[in-house]
Amino acid sequence: MRGPLQRVGERANQCVACLLELAWEDEAVPTASAERFDHYQVATHTDGTPVELGRGAMGITFKAFDPVLGNEVALKVIDARIAAHSEVRERFLREARAAARLRHSNVASVFYYGTRKSDGQCFYAMELVEGATVEARLRAPAEPPPFDL
């Protein structure tokens, strides 16, 4: 049985859900400083900004390259503003482990979990699935069914 978590810092009185809500704020979010996570290299646009695939409550997903295996991956990185909290890092690891156990053609496979040595930033690499996001598909106008004569 675990004992109570001791929280420190300016947000010590906030619950985990409140900390996760920080990811939804519109302010600029600091991302990776070196744009490299272990051997994974985050892809960048021509202006040098990282190629962001999505953003959620716990982190940001970037397009990246695995030079060891020679393929593109999706790299989910925990939001830097909440990563200092151990309970959030533990939840992120549980998320990665749960996703890694899933085997289905409609679910991206998780390949690797790591913590960047330079700053402790947690991340995991998963299969890159090209195409529109679920959000974009849901927002797109519905196409009428095909009409056969």
What is the token pair recorded at 62?
């970037």
Q: Judge whether residue 100 has pLDDT over 50.
A: yes
Residue 36's alpha-carbon distances to 40, 60, 139, in angstroms, are: 6, 14, 33
Stretch 81-109: mean pLDDT = 90
Please give the Cα distance from 53 to 73 (Å, whole number): 11
More confident residue, 13 or 34: 13
Q: Which residues pair with 59 in a beta bridge?
A: 78
Stretch 115-143: mean pLDDT = 85
**pLDDT for the residue 81:** 79
More confident residue, 4 or 64: 64
Q: Judge whether residue 43 has pLDDT over 50.
A: yes
Rounded to the nearest integer, the mean pLDDT of the chain is 80
| 78 backbone dihedrals φ, ψ, rounded to 5° | -65, 140
